[in-house]
Amino acid sequence: MLKTHRVLLLLSFFLLSACRSSEFNLDLEQQVEGATLLQFSKEGGFVLPPIPDSNPLTDGKAELGRHLFYDKRLSGNQTQSCESCHIQALAFTDGKALPQGSTGETLALNSQSLTNVAYNASYTWWNPILIRIEDQLFIPLTGDTPVELGINDGNLNTVLQRFRDDPSYQALFAAAFPNETDPYTLVNVAKALASFSRILISDRSAFDKGQLSDSAKRGQQLFFSESLECFHCHNGFNFSSSTVTINTRFPERVFFNNGLYNLNNNGSYPEDIQGKFKVTADWNDMGAFRPPTLRNIELTAPYMHDGSIATLEDVIDFYAAGGRNVTSGANQGDGRLNPYKSDFVNGFTLSAQEKTDLLNFLKSLTDYEFIADPRFANPFPAAEL
C-alpha cells in the first residue's frame, strides 16, 4: 500500500514547481520549429498541444526520449524500462490490472494509456495538480512508495554514467541538448521522455477516417445520447473532458466519481485510491478520477483506475447498472448508491443489438497505425534488451 505522507511531501514540491513554471508556450511557430516528429493529421486533425516554455519540443529530444523509454538501464537495477508498463501494441498500457515496479512492489493504480497524453489537462488518474508530464515523470523515475524504476540518491550517478559512457547516447544527448557540456542529468532525462510522450499522437482510427460501419454509427448515436450520457464526460476530439490544446486559456480539470465503490455506505473508496480526494481532502472529491480518453480503448483492458473491470462489455454493463454493487469482500458496498457519484451515471437499458453497436463505436476508435508506428517503436534490436 502507498504511504500517504511521502506522496503528500512530493505533492507540495510539485505545487511549488507548478506555480513557478505553469506557463505554457502559446507561440505556435516556436513550438513546431524543428519538431518534424510531431505529426498531426493533415485533414481536419488536432490542434497542437500545449508545450512548456522550459522544454520546447525538438526531434532530438523526442528521439533521445524514445531510446530512454525502451532502455532498462534507466532503472536502478536494470530490470525495467518505461515499456515494462507502457507497451506500444497495447496503446502503451500493460494488459495487467495492477503493475509491479522494478523491485517487485505492486502499484495501487492501473498503467495508463499514453495515447494523446500531451493533451491531458492533468496527469495520473487522480491528481489535479500534476499538470506537466515533466513533473509526473519523477514518480516512475524516483518514486519509492512504491518503487517503479527505482532511481535514488544512491544510484543516480551510476544510472546517468551508463548513458554518459555509451557512444550512441553521447550522440543522442548532444543532439537533444546541443548547448550543454554535461547534459546527463535527471531533469534532461525527464525532458526527453516528456518530449517522446508528447509525440504519441493517435488520430488515424476508423472514426478519424470517417469509416464507421452502420452498427458503429448507431453506437455513436447512443454514445452521444442523453440516455447514456457518455459524452458529458468523454467528449471533444480526445474523448475526455479534461483536455487542453494550445488554444485553451482556462483549462478545466474535471474529475468524476462513476460509482465503482461505496465502502461503509458513506461513499468511501478503498484506502489510498480515493481519487482527487487524496489531494483536496474534500469529500465531494471522494472517488473522483479524470475521465480517461476512450481512444484505443479496445486495446487497454483491464479498465478503470484499479483495473477492476475486465472487458469493455463489462464496462457497458457497469454503466447500464448505474454503478457497481460489490457484494462481498473488503470492498463491499453498493457503488450505485455512492453519494458522491456523478448525476450523469444513472443507468440505462440496452438491447443486445444496441450493446453491440456501442461496442463497435468504441472499437472504431482503435488506431492500428498508432500501435505499429515505427517512430514510437523500440529502437533497439531485439537481442540487445
Nearest to 191 by CA among 179, 176, 171, 174: 176
d(CA 264, CA 323): 16
304 binds ligand HEC (CB under 6 A): yes
Cβ closest to ligand HEC, residue 56 vs residue 101: 101
Binding-site member from 76, 128, 150, 292 for ligand HEC (CB under 6 A): 292
At 121, is the secondary structure helix, strand, or coil? coil
Residue ranges in 327-346 that form contacts with ligand HEC under rule CB under 6 A? 342, 344-345
297 binds ligand HEC (CB under 6 A): yes
197 binds ligand HEC (CB under 6 A): yes
Binding-site member from 121, 151, 176, 228 for ligand HEC (CB under 6 A): 228
Residue ranges in 143-172 that form contacts with ligand HEC under rule CB under 6 A? 148-149
The owner of cell 511549488 is: 16
Task: Give the residues across from 100 on adjacent strands.
Answer: 106
142 binds ligand HEC (CB under 6 A): no
| CA angle, residues 367, 149, 68, in degrees to nearest 5 | 55
Q: Is 82 annotated as a binding residue?
A: yes
At 375, is the secondary structure helix, strand, or coil? helix
Residue ranges in 236-265 that form contacts with ligand HEC under rule CB under 6 A? 256, 258, 260
Question: And the C-alpha cell for 1?
Answer: 500500500
Binding-site member from 52, 140, 143, 323 for ligand HEC (CB under 6 A): 140
Q: Which amino acid is at 323?
A: G
Q: Please, what sign has the CA dihedral across residues 120, 137, 86, 277?
A: negative
303 binds ligand HEC (CB under 6 A): yes
Binding-site member from 319, 340, 370, 376 for ligand HEC (CB under 6 A): 319
Nearest to 13 by CA among 107, 115, 114, 135: 135
Residue ranges in 81-100 that form contacts with ligand HEC under rule CB under 6 A? 82, 84-86, 99
| DSSP code per residue over 191-209 | HHHHHHHHT-----STTTT
In whole angstroms, the minimum distance from the beta carbon of 35 to ligand HEC comes to 18
Nearest to 111 by CA among 92, 128, 136: 92
Q: Where are the beta strands (DSSP E) in the chain?
A: 24-25, 51-52, 325-326, 333-334
In whole angstroms, the minimum distance from the beta carbon of 42 to ligand HEC comes to 26
Q: Is 19 annotated as a binding residue?
A: no
Binding-site member from 25, 54, 79, 124 for ligand HEC (CB under 6 A): 124
234 binds ligand HEC (CB under 6 A): yes
Per the annotation, binding residues are: 82, 85-86, 230, 233-234
Per the annotation, binding residues for heme c are: 82, 85-86, 230, 233-234
